[in-house]
Amino acid sequence: MALFVIGLDQLSKYLVHTHMRIGEEIPLIGNALKLLYTTNPGMAFGVELPPPYGKLLLTGFRLLAVGGLSYYIVHLWRTRAPKGFIACMALILGGAVGNLIDSIFYGVLYHNAPAGSPSQWLYGQVIDMINVPIYQGVYPSWVPVVGGQYTNGFPIFNIADSSIFIGVALILLLQGRFFKEQETPREADTEPTDSLR
């Protein structure tokens, strides 16, 4: 599962990078779903850590997270955890590895490290391309935090992000099934038989 997500994610990013220009937009389903080639130097929703070493810390964190997830999935497999739960964790791992590859290698492969980066290695930007412009315009002033700000719609994401989101959402929705305590059958009370009467 994780390998499939990684392969599909990297293929989609390669195709977008080689066939589109940054900022180019291709409608897929009218205005409801578009391809829009963008790069993201930071975390989800474009949040960035302070340069120049914030990106290095983020890449290091992603590497540790991938190592931890891999170890946990092996542990789940050995302890015969529910297969559905393992599959969800594999979706999360695949997405994490997909974005980690971008961070480590894309500065060198696609020369997309931010200007002024100390190195091309470990400073690559994640390629995002799926745009679902649910609402474009200015948020009403009464909306907390973002009131009065302009939005292009839902944050642009990629297959790796989708995989992580789907994995987490399925765990939250199905946790009752995954973590259901198995009832152990009660041992029948056996009365001792007296052979000597």
The answer to whether residue 194 is catalytic is: no
- Strand 137-138 relative to strand 126-131: parallel, antiparallel, unpaired? unpaired
Active-site choice (9, 102, 161, 189) = 161
Q: Which of 102, 128, 189, 194 is catalytic?
A: 128
Instruction: Please report the beta strands in 22-173, taking only residues with DSSP state E, as ranges in sequence order.
Output: 25-29, 33-40, 126-131, 137-138, 150-151
Residue written as tokens 């290698």? 105
Q: Positive or negative, the Cα torsion across 93, 97, 99, 100? A: positive
Q: Are 147 and 161 in contact (CB under 8 A)?
A: no
102 part of the active site: no
Type of residue numbered 27: P
Residues tagged active-site: 128, 161
